């Protein structure tokens, strides 16, 4: 698995005008292929009179799902350069839809490739990207007496506290880089005088 990946920081739209054609690039994070497809459909509904609504998306930290559509532009001049820009910027879990309103001037194949790829790059610059780091999830179980201090200590030492659940005991879910699992066990035993439970879970991604 990838140790980390980059994704678009937030959803948004960037507009550019090229030879009188309007290009609107809508970008959004997409956790699944279904989310990406729903976003494409939503943008198409918002721009029913546009000449083209071309799209590209990359899903999976290892880019396992890659799709692109030219939506009526000459083959390979729209979706593919959009996808190439996402891949070149190493962006994952991201969907891009470029809506074009034709302005009466033909751009030619080279012009289209530059326009579609370029507007995606500009949108990524405008909206920004963030890194997501791979973590092991771990659950720490501790009695109510120690829970408040332990949670404060976890945050103070920069550990990613993801969730705190109160029941008979207090369960604190933390995200740990793989290399920190064993040092964390030792730290926890020391911090709680050996009274805390520790259980390793699956893997997830969080802010790097």
What does the pLDDT look like over 151-174, one tens digit per residue?
999 988 888 888 899 999 999 999
pLDDT tens profile 182-208: 999 999 999 999 999 999 888 777 765
pLDDT of 91 over the 90 cut: yes
Q: What is the CA 32 to chain-centroid distance, rounded?
A: 10
Supply the pLDDT for residue 177.
Answer: 82
Interacting residues of 119 by C-beta distance below 8 A, sequence separation 6+: 14, 16, 18, 23, 25, 98
* pTM for the predicted model, two decimal places: 0.73
Q: Please state the rounded mean pLDDT for residues 121-149.
A: 92
DSSP string of 82-119?
HHHHHHHTTB-SEEEEEEEE--S---HHHHHHHHHHHH
Q: What is the mean pLDDT of the chain?
A: 92
Supply the pLDDT for residue 208.
Answer: 54
Confidence of residue 90 (pLDDT cuts 50, 70, 90): very high
Supply the pLDDT for residue 204.
Answer: 74
Supply the pLDDT for residue 1.
Answer: 55
Q: What is the CATH number of domain 4-127?
A: 3.30.230.30
Q: Angle 108-127/79-88 helices, nearest 10 degrees?
A: 40
Residue 191 gets the label, from left (phi > 0), alpha (psi -120 to 50) or beta, of alpha
Supply the pLDDT for residue 124.
Answer: 97
By mean pLDDT, which of 51-55, 58-62, 83-87 is the weakest? Answer: 58-62
Q: Do domains 4-127 and 132-207 have the same CATH topology?
A: no
What's the token pair of residue 3? 């140790």
- The Cα 91–Cα 77 span in angstroms is 20
- Greater confidence, 134 or 113? 113
Confidence of residue 2 (pLDDT cuts 50, 70, 90): low
By mean pLDDT, which of 36-50, 62-76, 115-129, 188-202 is the weakest? Answer: 188-202
Q: Residues of the chain with pLDDT > 90: what percent?
A: 76
Q: Which CATH architecture has domain 132-207?
A: 2-Layer Sandwich (3.30)
Supply the pLDDT for residue 198.
Answer: 93
| Residue ranges per structural domain of the chain | 4-127, 132-207
């Amino acid at each position: 698995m990838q140790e980390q990946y980059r994704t678009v920081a937030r959803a948004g739209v960037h507009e550019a005008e090229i030879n009188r054609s309007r290009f609107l690039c809508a970008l959004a994070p997409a956790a699944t292929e279904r989310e990406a497809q729903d976003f494409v459909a939503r943008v198409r509904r918002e721009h029913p009179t546009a000449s083209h609504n071309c799209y590209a998306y990359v899903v999976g930290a290892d880019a396992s799902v890659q799709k692109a559509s030219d939506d009526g532009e000459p083959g390979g001049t729209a979706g593919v350069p959009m996808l190439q820009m996402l891949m070149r910027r190493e962006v994952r879990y991201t969907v891009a839809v470029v809506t074009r309103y034709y302005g009466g001037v033909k751009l030619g194949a080279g012009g289209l490739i530059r326009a579609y790829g370029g507007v995606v790059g500009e949108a990524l610059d405008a909206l920004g990207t963030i890194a997501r780091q791979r973590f092991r999830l771990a659950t720490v179980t501790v009695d109510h007496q120690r829970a408040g201090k332990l949670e404060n200590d976890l945050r103070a030492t920069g550990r990613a506290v993801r969730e705190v659940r109160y029941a008979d005991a207090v369960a604190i879910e933390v995200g740990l880089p793989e290399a920190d699992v064993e040092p964390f066990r030792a730290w926890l035993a020391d911090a709680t005088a050996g009274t805390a439970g520790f259980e390793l879970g699956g893997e997830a991604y969080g802010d790097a």
